[in-house]
Amino acid sequence: MKKVDVGDKSFVLKYSHNKLMRRISAMAEEINSLEKDKDIVFMIVLNGAYMFASDLTKKITLPCEVTFVKVASYSGTKSTGNLKTLVGINTELKNKTIILIEDIVDSGNTLENFIPQLELHSPKEIKICSLFFKPNSYKGKRQINYIGFSIDDSFIVGYGLDYNEKGRNLPAIYELEDQ
């Protein structure tokens, strides 16, 4: 499918499912080689990261735990800056290596607000793994350790990412068409 309508907007294909899978395999290999001999917790940031996290963690060969949190700072196609924690932290994190799995890092507001909450649990370290990164809108100081694709500031849907909660189920990534 080259084009798709989600809600009131039209989107065009940007990354096919195969292309996503090839990149995710390479990211998993990188994590497998760089994060050896650690006590790892993959913390999946719901809802957007669910598909990415599922495909990525299947390719992880290191011993690890997998847990979920749910935060929200977006409404429609704009980041709102105020973060709501909808599903909190319920895992022992002391002295562990947390690898946060995100769908996309845009302004970085979600991370800036959420990471201090994680630090209260005294982990050994916190790493960030995001399938997409928008370097032009990123305002955070923190390094994103693993990035799938750096993209310009266009709005994308599919493969877990939504437009007003729709489009998450699409197996590929679509970009908002010029209007």
Q: Which residues are catalytic?
A: 106
Out of ligand IMP, Mg ion, none, which partner does residue 155 contact, by CB within 5 to 8 A per kind?
ligand IMP
Within residues 54-113, the interface with Mg ion by CB under 5 A covers: 74
Q: How far is the CB of 108 from ligand IMP (least distance, A)?
A: 5
| Nearer CB in complex with ligand IMP: 71/93 | 71
> Terminus-to-terminus CA distance in the chain, angstroms?
20
Measure Cα distances from 14 to 18, 132, 174 in Å: 12, 12, 5
| Nearer CB in complex with Mg ion: 45/126 | 45
CA dihedral of 114, 119, 105, 52, whole degrees rounded to 10: -100
Interaction site with ligand IMP (CB under 6 A)? 48, 73-74, 79, 102-110, 155-157, 161
Q: Which residues contact 143 (CB under 8 A, 6 or more apart)?
A: 128
| Nearer CB in complex with Mg ion: 35/162 | 162
Out of ligand IMP, Mg ion, none, which partner does residue 130 contact, by CB within 5 to 8 A per kind?
none
- According to DSSP, the residues that pair with 45 across neighbouring strands are 69
Instruction: Report residue 91: phi and psi, to 5°.
Output: -125, 145
Out of Mg ion, ligand IMP, none, which partner does residue 35 contact, by CB within 5 to 8 A per kind?
none
